Amino acid sequence: MDTQIESALRYVRNANGGATLANFLEDHEPIGQKLWDGLVAGNWVRIGPDGKIQISPSQDALSIGVEGDHLVIRIGVDCLCNITETADTWPARNEEGDPCKILDRQQFIQDLVNELGRDDEQGATSIHLAFDQAAQDVLESGSESVELPYD
């Protein structure tokens, strides 16, 4: 992701829904309009009904919370694709180090969902393994929410 785009998105997020387009353009002179056009073209932001700049829902960052009796994990699909393409573990495809590019985001997300739900030979999925590791980390951090039989 371009550093100017990253900086502009950080600005929008830090404004917590309080920035208008006029604020954005003024604070990003002299490239404000060009930068704004890039954000809109990339579906990064939108203007809400109140006239304030909002991050597009497809760009929502990872959030994990409890809603009623459910653990809910959310991330905007565009955000997920963007962080996937910029991850250190994402392979380079040539000597110059150009990264692999997701060509069909909808298909990639569907393939990713299928992979996350795929069982290994013991019946565990990637999600099960992530939960197991997180639970182990809770134990190792000394959480008082768990009683060990040998305490």
- The listed range with the strongest mean pLDDT (5-9, 85-89, 106-110) is 106-110
112-151 confidence digits (pLDDT tens)? 999 999 999 999 999 999 999 999 999 999 999 998 888 6
Going by pLDDT thresholds of 50, 70 and 90, the confidence category of residue 90 is confident
The rounded distance, in Å, linking the Cα atoms of 34 and 4 is 11
Residue 62: other Cβ atoms inside 10 A:
11
Q: What pLDDT sits at residue 12?
A: 87
For range 82-110, the mean pLDDT: 85
Q: What pLDDT sits at residue 74?
A: 92
Q: What pLDDT sits at residue 114?
A: 97
Q: What pLDDT sits at residue 133?
A: 97
Strand pairing partners for 67?
70
41-79 confidence digits (pLDDT tens)? 878 888 989 999 988 888 888 889 999 999 999 998 988
Q: What pLDDT sits at residue 115?
A: 96
- CA 110 to each of CA 11, 31, 81, 116, 123: distance values in angstroms, whole numbers, following the listed order: 31, 37, 12, 10, 21
Of 58 and 108, which is predicted with more confidence?
108
DSSP letter at 62?
P
